[in-house]
A and B are shown apart, each in its own frame.
Chain A
Amino acid sequence: MADPVLSIRDLSVEIPTRHGIVRPVDGVSYDIQAGEILGIVGESGAGKSMAGNAVIGLLNPPAHISKGEIWLNGQRIDHLKGDAMRRLRGKEIGMVFQDPLTSLNPLLRIGDQLIETMLTHLPISRTEAEKRAVAALEEVGIPGAAARVNSYPHEFSGGMRQRVVIALALCAEPSLVIADEPTTALDVSVQAQIIALLRRLCRDRGTAVMLITHDMGVIAEATDRVAVMYAGRLAELGPVRDVLTHPQHPYTHGLMASTPLASQGKSRLHQIPGAMPRLDAVPDGCAFNPRCPHATDKCRQAPVPRVSNGQAACWYPLVDEKVI
C-alpha cells in the first residue's frame, strides 16, 4: 500500500486547567490514504474535533500537542510553528467547518474570498485566480457561478453556503480535507447532497478526508473506514462495514444499538447506561468500564492496549455479535 497522506502516531493533546491536566486526545493513532474517507465518530467531548484541530495547527491555547507525531505526505508537521504551519493550512490541509452561516466573512464577496485563498497559496495571476474561482463554484454545483462569484454570503442558502465553504477548502487543491461536522447545521434533505459532493470531489482528486461527525448515517453513507472515539481514546478502528455490522467494542455496539432505524418501527431505543466520564475524571483501566455490561476487574485496572486497524481497544472484544 502507498504511503498514507496523513499519519497520526500516539497523538495526545493536553489542556492544563485548574483541576489539573486534562487530555481530550489520548494516545490516538490512525492513517488516511489518498482518496480515502476516514470517519471519526463519537459523542460530544470525545476528542474528535480536537484531533482535527491538532492536525491543522489550530488548537486554542492553552491546548497543545503533548505527545506523539503527525506526518503529512512524509513530512512531520506536529512541531511546525507560525508561518511554516500557515503555509500548509489551505495549501495541503483544507478544513470545512460545521456552520456555513458563520464561516464565511459577511462583508466580502465569495469570489474575493476564493481568489485571496488561491493567491495566497498558488503561483498564479489574478486573472487566472478569477477564472479558477468561477470553475471552483461550478464544481461544487453553484448554479450560475459566473454571476454568483460576485455575491455576498448572505445571498446564499445554508446548503449553498456549505458548497461555497467546500469550494474554499478545496480551491488550493489540498491533499487532506478535515470536515468537522460538515452537515450538522444543515437541513436533512441537504445533508445527503453535501456528503455526496464531498465524496465525489475527494474521490476525483484523490484527496484524503477526515470526516468528523456524530451521525452514524453519515458514517455509513460516506466513509471507507471509521474510527470510534471515547473519552479521548480510540475505541475501535476498522473498515466501515465491519465496524457497523460486527462491532467488537462494547461501546461501538451500544452506539449502533442506540441509532434509530426506520425499519425498526416504534420499538424502544437501546440506551447506553450512564454518561461519558468528564475528561478530568477518566477511570483507570478501560475508560468505558463503568458503563460496560461485560466489565471485569481486569478492565478496571489494566490499561487497554492501543488499537490498530481492524481492532477494538477491549480486553474482551465481542465476536460476531450482530447489532440488530
Chain B
Amino acid sequence: MLAYTIRRVGQSALVLLIVGLVAFAMFRFVGDPIDNMLGQERTAEDIERLRAQLGLDQPFVVQYYKFLEGAVQGNFGVSYRQGRPVAEILLERAPATLELAAVSGILAILFGIALGVFTAIRRDGVLANAIMSVSLIGVSLPTFLIGILLIYLFSVELGWLPSFGRGETVDLGGWSTGFLTESGLKALILPSITLGLYQMTLIMRLVRSEMLEVLRQDYIRFARARGLRDRAVNFRHALKNTMVPVITVIGLQLGAIIAFAIITETVFQWPGVGLLFINAIQFVDIPVMAAYLMLISVMFVGINLLVDILYFFIDPRLRAERSGGH
C-alpha cells in the first residue's frame, strides 16, 4: 500500500512536470505581452527594458526552469496586467471557484447516484423512463446555454435569483465565503446547477448502466435466492459493486467541474479563477495562465491519486493483489 502510494505520487509529479512544460511552451506562441502592456507610445528602449525586467529575453529553458523553481515555492511571478503576485491573486479568487465546484460536485454526485440507482431498479417504470429522456437534455445541451436559460427564467422572468456575482461574502481569515449570507447562498444556486447538471446526468447514466450490469450477476441472483430484502440486495450488494467503476469517473468529473467552471463563471460573471483565466488570455498574462493551468493539473492529478487510494477501501481484491505483489 505504502510503496504503491509512493509510486503513484512519483508518477503524479512527472505528469505535473510535463503539463507545466507543455503549458509554458504553448504560451510562448499566444502573443507578445509587451505589446499590450506598453500601448501605442513606446520606444525600442522601453520594450527592451521591460523585456529584461520580466526575464523574457532569456532562453526558453531558463525561463521554464525559473518558472518551476518559483512554482515549487508557490511563487508564480507577477501578473503582467495587475502588477501583483499571481499567487496572491489566485488565492483571492480560489474560494469562489472552490465553493462553486464543491456545491456543484455534491449536487451532481448525490442526485446522479440516487437517480441512477432509481432508474436501474425501476428500469421499466414510467418515471424512470421519463428521467432517462430528460437526462438527454443535460448531456446534450451546452453549459453556457443552460446557464443563459436559467438566468432568463429565474432572474429575468421570475426575478427570484440574482443573475451574476457572488452576493455578499464573509471573510474568514483570507477565505471569502458565500455560504454564510443569504444573498451569497442565493447567488450559488443558478451557477451550481449550471455547472453540475452535465456531471449529474453523466454520473446518473453511468450508475444506471453499471448497476443494470451488476444486477444481472450471479451473486445478485444468489442474494435473492437467500431471501435477502430488496433493500439489502440493491444497496448492500449491487450498489457497492456498482461504485468501483463509477468512482473513477466521478474523480475525473470533479476535476472537470473545476475546469468547466470557466464557462459558468463567464456566464454568471462569477469572480473565480476561471474568469481570471479568461481575462488573462485576453491580455496574454502568461504568469496567470501558467499558474492557472498548473493549479488545474494539480487538482486533476491529486483527485486521481485519491481515487486510486479509495479503491483499496472498496475492493478487497485490489488490496490483496497490490500489497501482496509489491
Once the chains bind, are B225 and A116 in contact (CB under 8 Å)? Answer: no
Once the chains bind, are B227 and A58 in contact (CB under 8 Å)? Answer: no
Once the chains bind, are A106 and B222 in contact (CB under 8 Å)? Answer: no
Asked if A56 lies at the interface with its beta carbon under 8 angstroms from chain B, I say: yes
Contacts of A105 in B (CB 8 A): 219, 223, 237, 241
Bitwise, A93-121 to B at CB < 8 A (1) or not (0) is 01101010011111110000000110011
Bitwise, A38-82 to B at CB < 8 A (1) or not (0) is 000000000000000000101000000000000000000000000
Asked if A315 lies at the interface with its beta carbon under 8 angstroms from chain B, I say: no
Contacts of B222 in A (CB 8 A): 95, 97, 103-104, 165, 168
Cα-based distance from A105 to B222 in the complex (angstroms): 9
Once the chains bind, are A116 and B224 in contact (CB under 8 Å)? Answer: no
Cα-based distance from A259 to B227 in the complex (angstroms): 37
Asked if B320 lies at the interface with its beta carbon under 8 angstroms from chain A, I say: yes
* Smallest CB gap from A114: residue in B: B226
CB distance from B90 to the nearest CB of A (A): 41
**A residues 165-203 in Cβ contact with B at 8 Å:** 165, 168-169, 172
Bitwise, B227-248 to A at CB < 8 A (1) or not (0) is 1111010001100110010000
Contacts of B226 in A (CB 8 A): 89-90, 94-95, 117, 120, 168-169, 172
One of B219, B227, B240 near A89 (C-beta < 8 A)? B227
Once the chains bind, are A107 and B225 in contact (CB under 8 Å)? Answer: no
Asked if B1 lies at the interface with its beta carbon under 8 angstroms from chain A, I say: no
Asked if B315 lies at the interface with its beta carbon under 8 angstroms from chain A, I say: yes
One of A102, A120, A155 near B232 (C-beta < 8 A)? A120
Once the chains bind, are B228 and A116 in contact (CB under 8 Å)? Answer: yes
One of A88, A117, A152 near B316 (C-beta < 8 A)? A152
Asked if A87 lies at the interface with its beta carbon under 8 angstroms from chain B, I say: yes
Asked if A91 lies at the interface with its beta carbon under 8 angstroms from chain B, I say: yes
Once the chains bind, are B240 and A107 in contact (CB under 8 Å)? Answer: yes
Once the chains bind, are A95 and B228 in contact (CB under 8 Å)? Answer: no
Once the chains bind, are A107 and B241 in contact (CB under 8 Å)? Answer: yes
Cα-based distance from A45 to B311 in the complex (angstroms): 41
CB within 8 Å: A-B pair count: 83
Contacts of A131 in B (CB 8 A): none
**B residues 274-313 in Cβ contact with A at 8 Å:** none
Asked if A86 lies at the interface with its beta carbon under 8 angstroms from chain B, I say: yes
CB distance from B236 to the nearest CB of A (A): 7
Once the chains bind, are A90 and B219 in contact (CB under 8 Å)? Answer: no
Cα-based distance from A165 to B225 in the complex (angstroms): 11
Asked if A154 lies at the interface with its beta carbon under 8 angstroms from chain B, I say: yes
Contacts of B314 in A (CB 8 A): 107
Most chain-B CB neighbours within 10 Å: which of A106, A117, A154, A155?
Answer: A106
Contacts of A104 in B (CB 8 A): 219, 222
Once the chains bind, are B228 and A117 in contact (CB under 8 Å)? Answer: yes
Asked if B58 lies at the interface with its beta carbon under 8 angstroms from chain A, I say: no
Contacts of A91 in B (CB 8 A): 227
CB distance from B95 to the nearest CB of A (A): 37
* Smallest CB gap from B124: residue in A: A61
Cα-based distance from A90 to B218 in the complex (angstroms): 16
**A residues 263-296 in Cβ contact with B at 8 Å:** none
One of B217, B225, B228, B317 near A58 (C-beta < 8 A)? B225
One of B218, B230, B237 near A108 (C-beta < 8 A)? B237
* Smallest CB gap from A88: residue in B: B227
Contacts of A108 in B (CB 8 A): 236-237, 240
Once the chains bind, are A102 and B217 in contact (CB under 8 Å)? Answer: yes
CB distance from B231 to the nearest CB of A (A): 11
Bitwise, B204-231 to A at CB < 8 A (1) or not (0) is 0000000000000111011111111110
Once the chains bind, are B224 and A58 in contact (CB under 8 Å)? Answer: yes
* Smallest CB gap from A60: residue in B: B221
Once the chains bind, are A152 and B317 in contact (CB under 8 Å)? Answer: yes
Cα-based distance from A91 to B315 in the complex (angstroms): 30
Once the chains bind, are A120 and B228 in contact (CB under 8 Å)? Answer: yes
Contacts of B221 in A (CB 8 A): 58, 97, 103
Once the chains bind, are B224 and A155 in contact (CB under 8 Å)? Answer: no
Contacts of A155 in B (CB 8 A): 320
Contacts of B229 in A (CB 8 A): 86, 120
* Smallest CB gap from A152: residue in B: B316
* Smallest CB gap from B220: residue in A: A105
Cα-based distance from A105 to B240 in the complex (angstroms): 10
Cα-based distance from A174 to B182 in the complex (angstroms): 60
Once the chains bind, are A103 and B317 in contact (CB under 8 Å)? Answer: no
Contacts of A165 in B (CB 8 A): 222
Cα-based distance from A89 to B221 in the complex (angstroms): 11
Cα-based distance from A154 to B315 in the complex (angstroms): 11
Contacts of B316 in A (CB 8 A): 106-107, 152, 154
Cα-based distance from A307 to B29 in the complex (angstroms): 88
CB distance from B226 to the nearest CB of A (A): 4
Cα-based distance from A91 to B228 in the complex (angstroms): 10
Cα-based distance from A250 to B135 in the complex (angstroms): 59
Cα-based distance from A105 to B241 in the complex (angstroms): 8
Contacts of A107 in B (CB 8 A): 240-241, 244, 314-316
* Smallest CB gap from A168: residue in B: B226
One of B225, B230, B317 near A106 (C-beta < 8 A)? B317
Bitwise, A135-172 to B at CB < 8 A (1) or not (0) is 00000000000000000101100000000010011001
Q: A152-B317, A168-B222 are in contact. List 16 more A-B contacts (CB 8 A).
A: A86-B227, A86-B228, A89-B225, A94-B225, A97-B221, A97-B222, A102-B218, A102-B219, A103-B218, A105-B223, A106-B315, A108-B237, A120-B232, A154-B316, A169-B225, A172-B226
A residues at B contact (CB < 8 Å): 56, 58, 86-91, 94-95, 97, 99, 102-108, 116-117, 120-121, 152, 154-155, 165, 168-169, 172
Query: 9 closest Cβ contacts across the A-B interface?
Result: A90-B227, A89-B227, A90-B226, A102-B218, A95-B225, A152-B316, A103-B222, A105-B219, A103-B218
Q: List 5 A-B contacts (CB under 8 A).
A: A90-B227, A121-B227, A152-B316, A154-B316, A155-B320
